[in-house]
Amino acid sequence: MQTFLMVASHHLGALAALHGRREVFFPPSMLVRAVVENCSHAIWVLGDDPSEPSENRLTRAYLEDLLSAEEAKKNAGRMGNKQSQSYVEAKAEYEGIKAEILARFEGATADNLGFRTLSGQTLPALEAGVVAMYELFHRKFGSSIDARRAQGTAA
């Protein structure tokens, strides 16, 4: 979760630097979207119910870690090959996190992890996570952007 918030803050810093120097060569919406997406991951891990068991947040954090490790492994293989040092290390990290999850969570299976599900928690697709974040802000804080507007379907 810390990584998502750190990346979001770096994107905001990049946006500020570009606007401060008036060197905006691409639509700023690309950076804004990256900030929103990273924040939605952090919000999903934290959840919106302070009374929920902390085990649920831990489960969601593990799902995010596993996805990050899987993406790192894929990218290392795409940029080099499967014999490269970076791929071997990324694969070992991924398999280590996966083994830790399988040992830590009773009833966890590799099949469930393949569906991004663990102990009743399911990692949302990117768009669904962003929509859920906006809906949460609308419900809890009165934000003018609700789920429909986040999806671009509001009238």
What are the tens digits of pLDDT across the range 42-86? 989 999 899 999 999 999 999 999 999 999 999 999 998 899 999
Q: How far apart are CA 149 and CA 36, in angstroms?
A: 14
Residue 16 pLDDT exceeds 60:
yes
pTM metric for this prediction = 0.81
Write down the pLDDT at residue 104. 96
Give the C-alpha distances (Å, rounded to integers) separating 6 from 11, 12, 79, 87, 98: 9, 10, 24, 25, 24
